[in-house]
Amino acid sequence: MSVTLTDLTAPEGYERLVLAEAPRHGLRALICLHSTVLGPAAGGCRMWAYDNDDQAIHDVTRLARGMTHKNAMADLGLGGGKAVIFGDARTDKTPDMMRAFGEAVETLAGTYWTAEDVGISPADMAFAAERTRFAVGLSGASGDPSPWTAEGVFRCLRVGSGHVFGTEDLTGRRVLVQGLGHVGLSLAEKLAKAGARLIVTDIHAAALKDAMTRLGAVVCAPDAVFDQQIEIFAPCALGGILTERTVGELSASLVCGAANNQLADDALALRLEAAGITYLPDYVVNAGGIISVASEIHGKPDAWRLERLTAIAARVSQMLTTAREAGQAPAAIADEMVRTMLSGRRAA
């Protein structure tokens, strides 16, 4: 199996952007290393049917940068990276494609560790692991990181609720979960158990039917999300959902979800704050999955994972308190915390 790696011009501030190709096995992928200042770059592999190369490059670079921030805030001793595979995960993915992807990762010699993301399962990652030492999130090891991501988001959502509404009790609270993939569904289950009035949306009818039947959720159409009267918005699908227009239509007082890069533009964090909406930065609250993966990379036990999962919620509480005292958006405080961590390590 032969994989060709071609270095592309990385954006300013990024370390490396690589195109990996194995035409015989249908592989065309991008691997982006944003930063290895705090350790080897780590971040999941996503498979998506991108419209064009520019769209894929935009996605993988933003995701890699987000992983740098996420891994720094979770204190994992890892830098930030990401991979995307071109194609429809439901129809195009094959074991040989994933093996070829594993070869590409191995060629990077430990500067990038990969794991599951959208469109990629632990079983897929097992095929990649046949060709690389640097694939994690495997069954029998740390396993599917999705439940850990959902648990971290749920804990942070409760902290945010206490900050915004004066109580972490979610009984009767109107919460909309957008996206019922592995993470979104797990989060919806936790919210339902906590007594929230659950509204859900997804592009797959089977997922919606399941949520209605098991969780008593109310369903709304994907294009009607911002028409709903809600108190908490939990984006758990793809990024870029919060735009200048949708922020103006959003009725929620708190945004806390698992999706990466929820803001179409970073400046929208200030727009949300000005509108009286508390936005918990996604790279802080959705770190549970990478914490699980990092335990496999570092060879740490479950106690290590739980300790860092608990620390996420504590960090959100600290971030919200500092933001309130400084009169700044929580996202600005989080970004400054990351800059301090990275500059300190560079100086050292």
Go through the domains of the chain in sequence order and give each one's CATH number: 4-67+78-129 (3.40.50.10860), 146-287+315-339 (3.40.50.720)
pLDDT of residue 137: 84
**Given the structure tokens 């495997």, which residue do they identify?**
138
pLDDT of residue 142: 65
pLDDT of residue 348: 46
CA distance 151 to 313: 10
Counting beta carbons within 10 angstroms of the beta carbon of residue 272, is it exposed (0 to 12), middle (13 to 18) or buried (19 or more)? Answer: buried
Amino acid present at 334: A
CA distance 237 to 188: 13
Three-state secondary structure call for residue 117: coil
pLDDT of residue 226: 95
Active site residues: 82
pLDDT of residue 344: 63
CA distance 332 to 259: 19
Residue 324: which residues within 8 A CB-CB, separation 6 or more? 163
Helical packing angle, 302-326 and 288-298, nearest 10°:
140
Q: Give pLDDT tens digits along the chain (348 positions).
A: 689 999 999 999 999 999 999 999 999 999 999 999 999 999 999 999 999 999 999 999 999 998 999 999 888 999 999 999 999 999 999 999 999 999 999 999 999 999 988 899 989 999 999 999 999 988 776 667 788 899 999 999 999 999 999 999 999 999 999 999 989 999 999 999 999 999 999 999 999 999 999 999 999 999 999 999 999 999 999 788 999 999 999 999 999 999 988 999 888 999 999 999 999 999 899 999 889 889 989 998 888 988 988 999 998 999 999 999 999 999 999 888 888 888 766 544
